[in-house]
A and B are shown apart, each in its own frame.
Chain A
Amino acid sequence: DARVTQTPRHKVTEMGQEVTMRCQPILGHNTVFWYRQTMMQGLELLAYFRNRAPLDDSGMPKDRFSAEMPDATLATLKIQPSEPRDSAVYFCASGLVAGHSSYEQYFGPGTRLTVT
């Protein structure tokens, strides 16, 4: 049963600390997405990758957020320094794009981040 995995599931940290979230996409998927969910804003796309190359990170605060895919099995989202307003649930999702066709996105369970 293929699924997207995320670690850690929960993270509590103090303002100013670095936070790294990790995601393992479904094997064979060529697109990876990072989303953030808050009560106020709902689900927002932060960044996404195709074949490990960043395609769009316009949804991400560039001064403190960075996203990378060191290899096909690992995507990371880093916040440095973290701020209380970064408190949210961060979801990773993966999907497959083949030619002109795109298919379902599959979401991980999320990382619940609390910055105090």
Chain B
Amino acid sequence: KQEVTQIPAALSVPEGENLVLNCSFTDSAIYNLQWFRQDPGKGLTSLLLIQSSQREQTSGRLNASLDKSSGRSTLYIAASQPGDSATYLCAVNTGFQKLVFGTGTRLLVSP
């Protein structure tokens, strides 16, 4: 059974710092991996999707990497801003678009 873990569970940083969020999964047989952002009381917003054949994807200040063989992905946020404060979730696609979600990292960026 696929299990997805995110470390750390919570992170607090001052504005401007670069930071890395980690996601690990137990079964490397995945089709793709997706990073989401969730604001309190809101739905999920897709940030990046990495196909299993890719190593990384970039969108603005966000960069996500994937090492399928070791079961790891990282989300790098450059020059963090208070508006980046949210919970970040990774999810692996185990087939037929079935997503298994991680437990999330709650990020707080203080001014």
Contact = CB atoms under 8 A, between A and B. Distances in A.
A50 B101 CA distance: 20
B32 A102 contact: yes
A97 B103 contact: no
A42 interface: yes
Q: Interface size class for chain A? A: 20 to 34
A31 B96 CA distance: 9
Contacts of B34: 104-105
Given A91-B43, A107-B43, A110-B43, A102 B97 contact: yes
Contacts of A55: 96
B37 to A, nearest CB: 11
B108 interface: no
A97 B99 CA distance: 13
A12 interface: no
Nearest to B101: A43
A109 B44 CA distance: 7
Given A91-B43, A110-B43, A105 B101 contact: no
Interface of A: 31, 33, 42-43, 45, 48, 50, 55-56, 91, 93, 95, 97, 101-110, 112
